Amino acid sequence: MSAVSSEPNRDYAALSRGDRVRTTIYSDPDLFETEMEKIFGRTWVWVAHTSEVPEKGSFKRSWVGTQPVIVSRDRKGELHVLVNRCRHRAATVCEHDSGRTSSFQCPYHGWGYALDGSLRGVPYSEGYGEGFDKSQFGLRRLKVATYAGMIFASFNEAVEPLEDFLGHARVWIDLFMKQGGGFPVKAAGEHRFSFPGNWKIQLENTTDAYHFPVVHKPFLQSLDAQTEEMFSFLGEDDGFVQDLGNGHSVMVMMPELIDLDADEGWQIPARFSALADQLRERYDEEQVRRIVKAVGGVGFNLNLFPNAACSLSFFRILRPVSATETHIRHIALGMEGGPPEANQMRLRLHEHFQGPMGFGSPDDAEVWERVQRGTAGGPDLDILVNRGEGLEKQGLHGLPRGDVSAETGMRAAYAMWERMMAQ
Amino acid sequence: MTGAEVMERPIEGDISLREAEEFIWREADILDRADYEAWLALWAPEGRYVIPLKPEATDFENTLNIVYDDAQMRRMRVERLSGGFAISATPAARTIRLASRFVTMEAGPGLIAVRSAMHLTEDKFDRQRVFVANVEHRLVRRDGALMIRDKVVRMINADGVLTSISYLF
Ligand code: FES
Ligand SMILES: [Fe+2]
């Protein structure tokens, strides 16, 4: 990506001031272009889970910011993230969502690329002079790194190591993956939907517990009393939101479900008792408890700046499309090789809340749209993310920690946004 | 989801395609009027209402769906849509659906399976959205009346990028 900003002298600090942001950051197309360059063009962006490209020759389409990419696994099993654009005249070389292949063939003039993006074949190559060097015209390749099965890519050759960027979020990622219940976590299908609004509206939502009892009242009402009680985490004082640095944050709603391997004092909830009985036919009690506890997912939402969230029992991935359009993927997670009845239960739980017709997602999508519609009014008014300010304690790593409904996570994200936009 | 279970029940006579068409039109009208209690009454209790995530999916149980509802989930869904608390259904989008191109997939004693094309237009927030689907109805006759044993809605873009949907197909 080019390093030159269209607006080099813009004062981004004036757009985000810690506890409030200017309304224009949801709608300004120039600002959006700058974000694509300075944020999505420079940092690590989540592109796929390793289970989506499980074997040699597997590929999966994805995006880094607005740019289409292909995540592929070559014949040695190595991962690559390639810009989905032929180097000749720019045609996309792949229009399948995922699959297996031995190469990518451009449909226009037939240039052929290997799984690692290198240019292999050029039809009628004698039409190019001696100076034509195939090694210069491979698919553009991004930097790739994985952590706990999550594949990240970056356009920035000088980007800091992924482990450093994830920093304090890593321990939470490790905890999140315990929902495999001893089996590897795998992507088990995804819902996709769009909403006509800015990507940061969704980014804010992952650690917004304040909206839960309001927006998700119909979801709460559809639960049994015990589960409803579990989801009524507002007003109790053991939940919290923790700034994790680098724009990442975690919102802990059910502290008793932070570590799924910790079994002490945990009782199998009524909604899982039939599942537990089924599992007892094949597993010992300790394993049954571990699997059943994992089925419900973890008790927290982890926000990874700028586009990924590990949320209860699924990945939520956002893709900015324009200043006023965003696509969302809700990826269900299953236990690879795990008991089918446990995986079925996970799918049913996912369907219950997520997706275009879930009991939760449509209401989220619509309030996000309402935010975008509302910002057409009062352009001089600010968006407030000041809830919990002055009430925060110093949490882990000396970073702020607010109560569960505090807007600490949003302030963490906007602080990073400001830092990246000012670079 | 085969007809086997249904076939074991007492045979009550055949169902014509015409009768099935009229039933499906009536259902469409009920849904456009958002008369969800009337819609619930159309169902055989053991019926499944499925909107798969892949247009050609068959193993609904072991794959992710958009909707996979038994009687209890259907009831809960109706409560969500009519309770007045679901933001996305308050106000609700208006819908008009067209059902056409009816094809018999399977017919037997007291049973007919019909595939039809559905075109639905939604109006909300000064914009209109369109959904298109193949809809499979498996209808059975119980105590003289037709009932929905299973309904599978295969949206043409089921695995694409959808929008939030706060009504029923
Ligand atoms: S555009 Fe790809 S070969 Fe010409
Ligand atoms: Fe929400």
Ordered by start, the domain boundaries in chain B are 8-155
d(CA B160, ligand 2 centre) in Å: 22
CA-based Rg of chain B, rounded to a whole angstrom?
A: 16
pLDDT number for residue B55: 87
List the single residue in A97, A344, A352 with the smallest CB-CB distance to B61: A344
Residues of B in contact with A352 (CB under 8 A): 73
pLDDT number for residue A4: 44
The closest ligand to the CA of A358 turns out to be: 2
Atom from ligand 1 closest to the CA of residue A90? 1
d(CA A356, ligand 2 centre) in Å: 13
pLDDT number for residue A111: 98
Whether the pLDDT of residue A1 is over 50: the answer is no
Bond from prior residue into A123 cis (ω within 30 degrees of 0): no
- State which residue of chain A sits closest to B62, comparing Cα positions: A344
Average of per-residue pLDDT across A186-215 = 97
Band the pLDDT of A313: cuts 50, 70, 90. very high
Residue A192 and residue B164: Cβ atoms within 8 Å?
Answer: no
Residues of B in contact with A215 (CB under 8 A): 87
Residues of B in contact with A191 (CB under 8 A): 53, 64, 66, 162
H or E segment to which residue B58 belongs: none
Residues of B in contact with A332 (CB under 8 A): 64
pLDDT number for residue B13: 53
Whether the pLDDT of residue A46 is over 80: the answer is yes
What is the per-residue pLDDT across A129-170, written as a single tens digit (0 to 9) for each? 999 999 999 999 999 999 999 999 999 999 999 999 999 999
Average of per-residue pLDDT across B142-157 = 96
What is the Cα–Cα distance from A322 to B162, expressed in whole angstroms? 17
What is the Cα–Cα distance from A357 to A339, expressed in whole angstroms? 27
Average of per-residue pLDDT across A71-95 = 98
For B139, the 3-state DSSP assignment is strand
Does the ipTM exceed 0.90? Answer: yes
Tell me which of B164, B165, B166 to substitute to probe the interface with A (most A C-beta atoms closer than 10 Å): B164
Phi, psi of A152 (to 5 degrees): -115, 150
The closest ligand to the CA of A121 turns out to be: 1
Average of per-residue pLDDT across B146-157 = 97
CATH architecture of the domain covering A168-421: Alpha-Beta Complex (3.90)
Under 8 Å CB-to-CB from B29, ≥6 apart: which residues?
none
d(CA A125, ligand 1 centre) in Å: 13
What is the Cα–Cα distance from A9 to A3, expressed in whole angstroms? 14
d(CA A290, ligand 2 centre) in Å: 27
List the single residue in A193, A222, A351 with the smallest CB-CB distance to B163: A193
Q: For chains A and B, what is the number of CB pairs under 8 angstroms? A: 93
Look up the pTM and report it: 0.94
Residues of A in contact with B31 (CB under 8 A): none
What is the per-residue pLDDT across B23-66, written as a single tens digit (0 to 9) for each? 999 999 999 999 999 999 999 999 999 999 998 999 999 999 99
Band the pLDDT of A283: cuts 50, 70, 90. very high
Instruction: Tell me the shortest Cα–Cα distance from B80 to chain A, in angstroms.
Output: 6
pLDDT number for residue A2: 41
Question: CB distance from A351 to chain B under 8 Å?
Answer: yes
Band the pLDDT of B11: cuts 50, 70, 90. very low
What is the per-residue pLDDT across A320-377, written as a single tens digit (0 to 9) for each? 999 999 999 999 999 999 999 999 999 999 999 999 999 999 999 999 999 999 999 9
| Cβ burial A90-109 (10 Å sphere, 16+ → b, else e) | eebbbeeeeeeeeebbbeee
Whether the pLDDT of residue B7 is over 80: the answer is no
Band the pLDDT of A185: cuts 50, 70, 90. very high
pLDDT number for residue A371: 97
What CATH class has B8-155?
alpha beta
Nearest to A302 by CA among A176, A215, A397, A123: A176
Residue A363 and residue B79: Cβ atoms within 8 Å?
Answer: no
List the single residue in B67, B87, B160 with the smallest CB-CB distance to A366: B87
Whether the pLDDT of residue A277 is over 60: the answer is yes
List the single residue in B62, B88, B160 with the smallest CB-CB distance to A362: B88
Residue A192 and residue B88: Cβ atoms within 8 Å?
Answer: no
pLDDT number for residue A255: 94
pLDDT number for residue A5: 45
CA-nearest residue, atom 1 of ligand 1: A89
Residue A357 and residue B66: Cβ atoms within 8 Å?
Answer: yes
CB A233 within 8 A of CB A240: no
What is the per-residue pLDDT across B81-134, written as a single tens digit (0 to 9) for each? 998 889 999 888 999 999 999 999 999 999 999 999 999 999 999 999 999 999
Output the ligand 1 site: residues, CB below 6 A: A 86, 88-89, 91, 106, 108-111
Q: Please, what is the end-to-end C-alpha distance for chain A in angstroms? A: 14
Residues of B with a Cβ under 8 Å from any A Cβ are: 51, 53, 61-68, 73, 76-77, 79-80, 83, 85-88, 125, 159-166
Whether the pLDDT of residue A403 is over 50: the answer is yes
What is the per-residue pLDDT across A238-255, written as a single tens digit (0 to 9) for each? 999 999 999 999 999 999
Residue type at A94 in one-letter notation: C
CA-nearest residue, atom 3 of ligand 1: A109
Under 8 Å CB-to-CB from A196, ≥6 apart: which residues?
A324, A325, A369, A372
Residue A193 and residue B164: Cβ atoms within 8 Å?
Answer: yes
Mean residue pLDDT of chain A comes to 95
Please identify which residue in the block is written with the tokens 């939030």: B164
Average of per-residue pLDDT across B136-158 = 96
The closest ligand to the CA of A361 turns out to be: 2
pLDDT number for residue B5: 53
The domain locations on chain A are 45-154, 168-421
Sign of CA dihedral A366, A370, A373, A375: negative
Residues of B in contact with A351 (CB under 8 A): 64-68
Instruction: Identify the bridge partners of residue A329 per DSSP, sorted by sequence position.
Output: A192, A317
Q: Can you name the CATH fold of A45-154?
A: Rieske Iron-sulfur Protein (2.102.10)
Whether the pLDDT of residue A3 is over 50: the answer is no
Residues of A in contact with B160 (CB under 8 A): 192
| Angle separating helix axes A285-295 and A340-353, nearest 10 degrees | 20
What is the per-residue pLDDT across A219-231, written as a single tens digit (0 to 9) for each? 999 999 999 999 9
Band the pLDDT of B140: cuts 50, 70, 90. very high
The closest ligand to the CA of A91 turns out to be: 1
pLDDT number for residue B134: 98
pLDDT number for residue A14: 78
CA-nearest residue, atom 4 of ligand 1: A109
